[in-house]
Amino acid sequence: MAIREPSSLLLFLLTLSALSLSSESRSDTNHVSSPCADAKVQRSDGFSFGIAFAPRNSFFINSSSSVQLSPCDRRLSLSSANSQLALFRPKVDEISLLTINTSNFFPDSYGGYMVAFAGRKYAARSLPAFVANSTFTVTSFTLVLEFKKGRLENLYWKRDGCASCSGNSNFVCLNNQDCAIRTNNCKNRGGSVDCSLGIQLTFSGTDKHETVFNSWYEVKNLRQYSLYGLYSNLRNSLTSQYNKFF
Ligand SMILES: *[C@@H]1O[C@H](CO)[C@@H](O)[C@H](O)[C@H]1NC(C)=O
Ligand SMILES: *[C@@H]1O[C@H](CO)[C@@H](O)[C@H](O)[C@H]1NC(C)=O
Ligand SMILES: *[C@@H]1O[C@H](CO)[C@@H](O)[C@H](O)[C@H]1NC(C)=O
């Protein structure tokens, strides 16, 4: 991937894989590769964004403030905080499942929260989402990228109120929103579950030609926030191991 690391973020790249591998296709007209620059996209373009892992309070301007800044904002000095950065370039309006392999990366060692972000002048960032601490690990997320006339306006985590794990005693429902596994059930943490993070992406709003994105509609009408079954590559890793374990 030809993504340059933003200069304000001297963070490490994680090993990552995006299942939408179309970013180099000829139909990608978006030449903005940095997640800290502004892009205006049309359907089937690639779109770069980042996910930063850090302690919750390091996403705010200071510990007594509720002003959350973009990880691209130098005032945050995330690079000197305990943080990690993952970069992705999915294809706009394609439902994608991003995975972050946690066999060598323990999110709880980096503060346990993540923020999705993109843009500079038109900076958008999600609220910090709890990923893991030494007791619990959340492995499944849905991120909505909301565009208006091709510009990213909003990034938010879509929760299902624990519908996907209700009645399953191997999961704990945290704050009525996240299905969590006990961290000591994870591989390399004393257990056998691959606790790699799965982040399902969907796109809503309009592209620069005001074409309406459909992928959010498709997610709502397919399965309730759980598209793992659609991804044959992952069926053999993430999904089946859940079935085996549970
Ligand atoms: C935190 O940030 C706010 C807003 O910029 C500022 O008013 C306040 O003085 C800061 N507090 C500390 C302890 O730095
Ligand atoms: C993560 O990496 C490990 C070691 O390379 C591999 O065995 C495992 O299948 C990977 N998990 C996923 C979900 O890709
Ligand atoms: C881990 O996070 C959960 C949910 O936010 C919280 O209830 C618990 O106290 C935390 N445990 C530790 C050891 O921080």
189-246 confidence digits (pLDDT tens): 999 988 999 998 899 999 999 999 987 666 665 544 444 444 444 444 444 444 443 3
* Ligand 2 contact, 238 CB (< 6 A): yes
Predicted pLDDT of residue 166: 82
Burial 111-139 (b: 16+ CB within 10 A, else e): bbbbbbbbbeeebbbbebbbbbeeebbbb
* Among the listed residues 144, 120, 160, 139, the one whose alpha carbon sits nearest the alpha carbon of residue 204: 144
Q: How many residues does the chain have?
A: 246
Cα–Cα distance measured from residue 8 to residue 110, given in angstroms and rounded to the nearest whole number: 18
Distance 112 CA to ligand 1 centre (A): 24
Residue whose Cα lies nearest atom 9 of ligand 3: it is 135
Q: Which residues lie closer than 8 Å to 206 by C-beta, 6 or more apart?
A: 147, 148, 149, 150, 212, 213
Return the best residue to mutate from 188, 237, 238, 241 for the ligand 2 pocket (most ligand atoms within 8 A of CB). 237
pTM of the model: 0.83
Question: What is the CA(212)–ligand 1 centre distance, in A?
Answer: 40
Q: Are 70 and 153 in contact (CB under 8 A)?
A: no
pLDDT of residue 48: 93
Mutate to test the pocket of ligand 1, among 58, 59, 60, 62 (most ligand atoms within 8 A of CB): 62
- Alpha helices (H) along the chain: 215-221, 232-234, 240-245
| Mutate which of 58, 60, 61 for ligand 1 pocket (most atoms within 8 A of beta carbon) | 61
Q: Where are the beta strands (DSSP E) in the chain?
A: 16-18, 49-55, 84-88, 96-100, 112-118, 124-125, 129-130, 136-138, 140-148, 151-157, 171-174, 178-182, 197-205
Pairing of strands 96-100, 49-55: unpaired
Residue 75 Cβ inside 6 Å of ligand 1? The answer reads no
Calculate how far, in angstroms, residue 230's C-alpha sits from the geometric centre of ligand 2. 19
Tokens representing residue 89 in the block: 């370039």
- Can you count the helices (H) and strands (E) in the chain? 3, 13
Which ligand neighbours the alpha carbon of 241 most closely?
Answer: 2
Q: What is the pLDDT of residue 81?
A: 77
| Residue 245 C-alpha from the chain's centroid | 25
Strand partners, 19: none
- What are the extents of the domains in the chain? 31-243
Q: Indicate which ligand has the atom closest to the C-alpha of 173.
A: 3
Ligand nearest to the CA of 64: 1
Q: What pLDDT is stored for residue 217 in this prediction? A: 64
Considering only CA atoms, which of 95, 132, 55, 47 is closest in space to residue 217?
95
Task: Return the pLDDT at 150.
Answer: 96
Q: How many A from CA of 183 to the centre of ligand 1?
A: 35
Low-confidence ranges of the chain (pLDDT < 70): 1-26, 216-246
